[in-house]
Chains A and B, each alone.
Chain A
Amino acid sequence: MLALIPFFPLLGFLVNASFGRRLPKTIAGGVACAVMAASFAVSVTAVWRLAGLPVEERAIEQTVYTWIASGDFVIDLTLRVDPLASVMILVITGIGSLIHIYSTSYMHDETDPEYARYFSYLNLFAAFMLILVLGANFLVLFVGWEGVGLCSYLLIGFWFRKQSAADAGKKAFVVNRIGDYAFILGTLLLFVRFGTLDFQQLASTVAAMPPEEGVFGAISIASLLLFIGATGKSAQIPLYTWLPDAMEGPTPVSALIHAATMVTAGVYMIGRNAVLFSHAPETMLIVAIIGALTALMAGTIGLVQNDIKRVLAYSTVSQLGLMFLAMGMGAFGAGIFHLYTHAFFKALLFLGSGAVIHALHGEQDIRNMGGLKRYLPITYWTFLIGSLAIAGVPFLSGFFSKDEILYETFAAGHWILWIIGAFTSLLTAIYMFRLVFLTFHGKSRTHGHHEESHLHDAPPSMAMPLVVLALGAVLAGYVGVPHALGGENRLAAWLAPSFAPPAVADGLQASGEGEAAEEEHAALELTLMAVSSGIALLGIGIAAFIWLKRREIADAMARKYAGVHRLLLHKYYVDEVYDATIVKPILIGSREGLWRGLDVQVVDGAVNGTGALVAAGSSMLRRLQTGSVRAYAGSMFIGVVVILGYYLWR
């Protein structure tokens, strides 16, 4: 049954890829949405069955066939659903379906073949992501891992006739390749060291070992390499640069990449190898630090960007940073919880921004928007809900998950990281509401070239996903209400077996903490909750004060700290630095050294030299061919005489 989950989107891909050119839009889009819905239905059934199993046996496995058998090395194409994967498949198929439905309307201006091409890529993307999360060993995961990389390239560069889109697609692919390389090395190291690539076997092998000290043990190096792979997929320092550029793709694609697929892969992969990572404390610390730094850096950049999608992109990078912070703190449940709530409100925000862009016929610069609240009410209200959720306003989904991350960080004693996280939350609230106020409030700055009567709110097929996602952004957090607020944190309990080594899983539930400790924790958690709620409201307040009341403050700040402003506007010049230190040297080295040096001189030289040698030898030998029959006869005669002479006088 599990195989059906990725099979349906794959089927949709095949249909649209093979016959899409001749299909009308309704059928091409309908097929794509239907297969996603079918996949969602199968996922729900699978998770239902999973929930019916006793806690210690919560895993459904299906071996499709033996993929590689070479001596002792046997890899099965095995799919496995456990609580962690169950959350992922629901997010991917559920939110993926909504994005597909939204796309049917958003992409309607494309020609029929382009439309079908778009949906075939979208289906393929979902299929690979499902393979990634369902794979029961590293190789199957790797198939999905590479597949989503490919699809992101295809979709970011969907409008490949535009140079910047083609470049962005290429950049995403190349940057991801760097991470993938480290991922392969990590996988190989694990195989050499432990002799297995199956996640469960690996976890039980590792669980039997003591945690490793230092960074030079096999587990630490392997987990570090895997983490580098994750930084590529999940857009963390140093490999995050592709994600903001990925905005060149159609907006629903951004929603898909940022919410349901692709960037969640790295977080998921760390969660999947929770036992491995827990045994490498140094790696965990690095993960947490990188996560916190990325969150902070992307948050500051997000403050000054003017492209509506770019702000959202940096906010994704920032939120992913928080997820990695949670992972690094060992709060795997909190990280996945945030991944899950983030999927709702980030998809909502992207689709909402898509609706704005759609209404303004491609305008993406928030300086040219403003006052859209009146014309786009559905978009406005849903976007506002998404912004409130991501800012961490109490009792919306983002509040619960972000708070859990910050609480776990504080509880682990890393108060510097906590401060960074809390400050990032403040930044998040500010830049999100800057976006809301500049886009929807104030006077219209559309320069009259968008007739106000032409402004139209999202059509039903776009509005429906927005509303559903808005409901999700409000309600999704209630599966993980913390104990401190009288909830049960069901999600954490549901996920726990996935992060514990298989043998320990059953003992986990029994070992509850003492009552007193529980209460103390609750008090701390409540305090922190109050602080972070205050931070969120403060951020919104600051944004409201600056961008609603006193616009000149923002301009004055930008002028006063011109250096900082320019630094942020140019994204810390990271792209320029990478360009100067990595891209240019490789480019020059390849062109001058490898092309003009090695290829032209050595390789071509060898080939041409062989030709020249033969030509020179032949021009000497051809003088023997005189054309004179007597000369030939003479040489024949001499030849015969010599041979006969040899045999006679031997």
Chain B
Amino acid sequence: MIPLSHYLVVSAVLFAIGTAGVFLRRNLITVLLSIEIMLNAVNLSFVAFGRQFGSLDGQIIVFFVMTVAAAEAAVGLAIVIGLYRHKESLNPDAFASLKW
């Protein structure tokens, strides 16, 4: 049986990759994808813990996260389309006019 720490390491690595993607990539769609990766990294931790402690709670939370992530993707993509129509660009730095 694969020990818990392995799952957690994979989860941490995935989370780091996702975070790096959010901050470093210059494309809004990639950013959204990176957020999905972060969410799924967390999901992995949840199921791993659930298995480890013999509890269903981890899996239930994962289902919640997946539904919320689906909704988020729908809304997020809609916003991205809106933004693209507005500025003809997907670079997040192009949308910095909401300030003083």
B82 at the interface (CB under 8 A from A): no
Q: A625 contacts which of B92, B95, B99 (Cβ < 8 Å)?
A: B99
Question: Is B100 within 8 A of A628, CB to CB?
Answer: no
Binds B, one of A254-262, A278-286, A549-557, A630-638: A630-638
State whether A622 and B100 are in contact (beta carbons under 8 Å apart), knowing that A628-B93, A629-B92 are contacts in the complex. yes
Question: Is A637 within 8 A of B93, CB to CB?
Answer: no
Residue of B nearest to A625 (CB): B99
Question: Is A627 within 8 A of B92, CB to CB?
Answer: no
Question: Is A629 within 8 A of B23, CB to CB?
Answer: no
Question: Is A625 within 8 A of B96, CB to CB?
Answer: no
A66 at the interface (CB under 8 A from B): no
- The A-contacting residues of B in range 1-46, CB under 8 angstroms, are 19, 22-23
A626 at the interface (CB under 8 A from B): yes
For A628, list chain B residues within 8 Å (CB). 92-93, 96
Q: B23 contacts which of A625, A626, A630 (Cβ < 8 Å)?
A: A630
B97 at the interface (CB under 8 A from A): yes
Question: Is B95 within 8 A of A629, CB to CB?
Answer: yes
Question: Is A627 within 8 A of B96, CB to CB?
Answer: yes
Shortest beta-carbon distance, A510 to chain B, in Å?
Answer: 97
Work out how many contacts link A and B, with CB atoms closer than 8 A: 25
Question: Is A630 within 8 A of B99, CB to CB?
Answer: no
Question: Is A630 within 8 A of B100, CB to CB?
Answer: no
A629–B23 alpha-carbon span in the complex (Å): 10
For B99, list chain A residues within 8 Å (CB). 625-627
A633–B96 alpha-carbon span in the complex (Å): 13
Interface range for A: 10 to 19
Residue of B nearest to A629 (CB): B92
State whether A634 and B93 are in contact (beta carbons under 8 Å apart), knowing that A622-B100, A625-B99 are contacts in the complex. no
Binary CB contact string for chain A from 616 to 628 against chain B (1 if under 8 A, 0 otherwise) = 0000001001111
Main SS at interface, chain A: helix
Question: Is B19 within 8 A of A625, CB to CB?
Answer: no
For A637, list chain B residues within 8 Å (CB). 19, 23
A627–B100 alpha-carbon span in the complex (Å): 8
Question: Is B100 within 8 A of A625, CB to CB?
Answer: yes
Question: Is B22 within 8 A of A633, CB to CB?
Answer: yes
For B95, list chain A residues within 8 Å (CB). 627, 629
For B19, list chain A residues within 8 Å (CB). 637
Question: Is B96 within 8 A of A626, CB to CB?
Answer: yes
Q: B92 contacts which of A622, A626, A630 (Cβ < 8 Å)?
A: A630
- The A-contacting residues of B in range 70-100, CB under 8 angstroms, are 92-93, 95-100
Question: Is B23 within 8 A of A634, CB to CB?
Answer: yes
For A627, list chain B residues within 8 Å (CB). 95-99
Question: Is B23 within 8 A of A633, CB to CB?
Answer: yes
A634–B93 alpha-carbon span in the complex (Å): 13
Shortest beta-carbon distance, A622 to chain B, in Å?
Answer: 5
Shortest beta-carbon distance, B39 to chain A, in Å?
Answer: 15
Residue among A626, A629, A637 having the largest count of chain B Cβ atoms under 10 Å: A629
A634–B97 alpha-carbon span in the complex (Å): 18
For B96, list chain A residues within 8 Å (CB). 626-629
For B93, list chain A residues within 8 Å (CB). 628, 630
Residue among A622, A630, A633, A634 having the largest count of chain B Cβ atoms under 10 Å: A630
A629–B80 alpha-carbon span in the complex (Å): 13
For B98, list chain A residues within 8 Å (CB). 627
For B97, list chain A residues within 8 Å (CB). 627
A628–B100 alpha-carbon span in the complex (Å): 12
Residue of A nearest to B24 (CB): A630
Residue of B nearest to A628 (CB): B96
For B23, list chain A residues within 8 Å (CB). 630, 633-634, 637
A637–B21 alpha-carbon span in the complex (Å): 13
A191–B22 alpha-carbon span in the complex (Å): 83
Chain B contacts to A: CB under 8 angstroms:
19, 22-23, 92-93, 95-100
The list of the 4 closest CB pairs from A to B, nearest first, reads A627-B99, A627-B96, A628-B96, A622-B100
Known: A628-B92, A629-B95. 9 other contacts (CB 8 A): A622-B100, A625-B100, A626-B96, A627-B95, A627-B99, A629-B96, A630-B22, A630-B23, A633-B23
7 CB < 8 A contacts A-B: A625-B99, A627-B95, A627-B98, A628-B92, A630-B22, A630-B23, A630-B92
